[in-house]
């Protein structure tokens, strides 16, 4: 994978040196291939674990990017006071107060499952659910 920025690899992310059939699309192997020369120690998957899996490695981490939503402050401004209060209350119940406010501002990205929750709550309040996010960004899923 060209143009891979190693600085986005989370601290403690497990790397993989194995040359299994899935290596070309596995973030663990891609991270290993782009390991900076100044890194002396990293977490590493024992190679035989991936090789024994024969293409069905349970540690496989796809390099496909996922679209995350960033912020939903704009849609809240379009809601009535009553709708906005109900929306805030329901979303805090689903994601917690800290995550709600960080997500609303765009400081915390919303994965697809949470985007569905936001849209569902908006629909249940009779509010429009299209264009409800302030922006989007495509990111790797580091799990």
Task: Give the model's pLDDT for residue 128.
Answer: 87
pLDDT classification of 96: cutoffs 50, 70, 90: very high
Task: Give the model's pLDDT for residue 90.
Answer: 98
Burial of 38 (0-12, 13-18, 19+ CB in 10 A): exposed
CA 80 to chain CA centroid, Å, is 31
Task: Give the model's pLDDT for residue 14.
Answer: 95
Task: Give the model's pLDDT for residue 76.
Answer: 94
* Structural domain boundaries enclosing 133: 66-139
- 10: pLDDT strictly greater than 80: yes
- Do 79 and 128 lie in one domain? The reply is yes
Burial of 108 (0-12, 13-18, 19+ CB in 10 A): middle
Dmax over CA atoms of the chain, in Å, equals: 59
Model confidence pLDDT, tens digit, residues 39-87 = 999 999 887 777 777 768 889 999 999 999 999 999 999 999 999 999 9
Q: Is 128 helix (H, G, I), strand (E, B) or coil?
A: coil
- Do 130 and 75 lie in one domain? The reply is yes
- 18: pLDDT strictly greater than 90: no
Q: Could you tell me if residue 135 is inside a domain?
A: yes
Model confidence pLDDT, tens digit, residues 108-138 = 999 999 999 999 999 999 998 889 999 999 9
| Rounded Cα–Cα distance for residues 92 and 100 (Å) | 6
Q: Could you tell me if residue 1 is inside a domain?
A: no
Q: How many domains does the chain have?
A: 2
- 21: pLDDT strictly greater than 80: yes
- Do 132 and 75 lie in one domain? The reply is yes
């Amino acid at each position: 994978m060209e143009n891979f920025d190693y600085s986005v690899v989370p601290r403690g992310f497990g790397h993989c040196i194995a040359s299994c059939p899935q290596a070309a699309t596995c973030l663990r192997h891609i991270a290993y291939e782009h390991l900076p020369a100044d890194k002396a120690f990293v977490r590493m998957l024992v190679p035989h674990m991936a090789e024994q899996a024969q293409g069905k490695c349970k540690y496989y981490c796809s390099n496909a990017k996922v679209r995350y939503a960033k912020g939903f402050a704009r849609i809240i401004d379009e809601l009535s006071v009553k709708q906005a209060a109900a929306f805030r209350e329901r979303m805090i119940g689903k994601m917690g107060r800290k995550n709600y406010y960080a997500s609303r501002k765009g400081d915390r990205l919303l994965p697809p499952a949470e985007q569905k929750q936001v849209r569902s709550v908006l629909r249940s309040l009779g509010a429009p659910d299209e264009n409800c996010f302030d922006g989007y960004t495509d990111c790797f899923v580091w799990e």
